[in-house]
Structure 1
Amino acid sequence: MHSSRYREPRNTLPCGLSYLHHVLLKSKAGRPDHFRQNLRVSPATFDKLVKELERDPVFFNDSNHPQLPVEQQLAVALYRFGHNGNAASVQAVANWAGLGKGTVHLITRRILTAVLRPGFMQSAVRMPTPEEKEQAKRWVKKHSCHAWRHGWCFVDGTLIPLDQRPTWYGESYFDRKCNYSLNFQVCSRCPCLFFSF
């Protein structure tokens, strides 16, 4: 027992067919609505994210430990981020992607490392130009109350549910809807966030 740490022999969990490949190969081209339902972004946005992220050094390592293509890693992370409850469990994501649970953790860490780098944040998220602000004001005037025309920005708070209670200070994450969640605040112009790649 001291040498192996396990009393029973460990057996591997057989992996089924991956739905990940179907989403990337079939839904992306033929059914963008299904693609968006799985990954919560349009195929065009997904391609732009892949193009920006694939240059990040976190996706380069020695040839002894090859990684999945960045496209697949991003798809796994977006699927995980876009689901909650039982669908967001590591095992459920691993089953969807046809991967091991440890690989899902590694992929999530790599994607977050790349996305949170200051260079990516500065290039991807920006404030609108004066022309874009004016365009937004015209949109608000046309589609909403005329008095709100100068309200080209909005601030919205939303709760991001967590699939489990955080280990540290878990009670602090318990929200008014009786879930564990993070409060996420979005500041943007109407009608959508500005992302530039």
Structure 2
Amino acid sequence: MAVALMDEENDELLNDNLTADSDLRLISDVDDVSEMLQLVQSSRYLVYRERAISATQFHADIFLQTTPNSRFRTRTRMDKDSFKLVVDEIKDNPVFYNRSPFAHAPVWLQLAVALDRFGHYGSGASLNRSQELWDIRKGTADDYTDRVFKALNELSSRYAKWPSADERRQTSRRMASKGFRDCIGFIDGTTIALSQKPAIDGECFFLRSKAAL
């Protein structure tokens, strides 16, 4: 009888201890979840963010002098002397300046980004590629491209114009001496790839290579 009572008391004590341990574990779990929730709500980023060096911190001399000529031409589609000439032509355009305390990026950088995009098409001209290559935001790459396009377009009347009657006669004589009579010149075409086939007469916009232009 005494042994049975002792066993019963031990069982009750064991159950009480297990219940207490379970309650403690539950409280501990709730505390852990509460601390984690507080951490998430108080922190925008849970992992340390290492800030990449922005391309706007590069110096023009470094870009022009240390970049190999072949790589420079691949990125900008022109040599360094021509690049400097274009920078000088557009650097004073108001589109590159604002009244904000935060000045625009250097003109040479905006031109380099735009030329890199002009020289590619499809995924090669994507904003994702510009973001990774130049360490700038997608919207920034788009802004650079728009500014450069506007600045270059304003120079079109100076460099792209129909020759006068006297200039046409002189050119025609030079062309005739090379075997091309009654010719005032010739030009080569540049294809511009489209992202998709036009809805109207789309079949007329395909090259022999099956690319839309």
TM bracket (short chain):
0.5 to 0.7
More strand, by proportion? 1
| Larger Rg belongs to | 2
RMSD: 4.0
What TM-score comes out, normalization by structure 2 length? 0.59
What is the Cα deviation at residue 149 of structure 1?
A: 7.0
1:155-166 matches, within 5 Å, as 155-162=187-194, 164-165=195-196
Alignment-mate amino acid for residue 125 of structure 1? A
CA 1:121/1:13 → structure 2, altered by over 3 Å: closer, same or farther?
farther
Distance 1:88 1:34 in 2: 17
CA 1:152/1:70 → structure 2, altered by over 3 Å: closer, same or farther?
same
Question: Aligned residues, how many?
Answer: 163
Distance 1:39 1:59 in 2: 19
* 1:40-62 deviations in Å (ceiling 9; x for gaps): 01212211111111111111111
In the alignment, what sits opposite 1:123? 158
Q: Which structure would you say has the larger RCO, counting Cα contacts within 8 Å and 6 or more residues apart?
A: 1
- The unaligned stretches of length 5 or more in structure 2 are 1-43
* 1:67-94 deviations in Å (ceiling 9; x for gaps): 1011100000000100123221111012
Alignment-mate amino acid for residue 148 of structure 2? I
What is the Cα deviation at residue 24 of structure 1?
A: 6.4
- The unaligned stretches of length 5 or more in structure 1 are 1-8, 182-197
More helix, by proportion? 2
Cα contact 1:28–1:35 (8 A) shared by 2: no
3-state DSSP class of the match of 1:63?
A: coil
* 1:1-33 deviations in Å (ceiling 9; x for gaps): xxxxxxxx8999965775x95996255566333
What TM-score comes out, normalization by structure 1 length? 0.63
Aligned identity (percent) is: 26
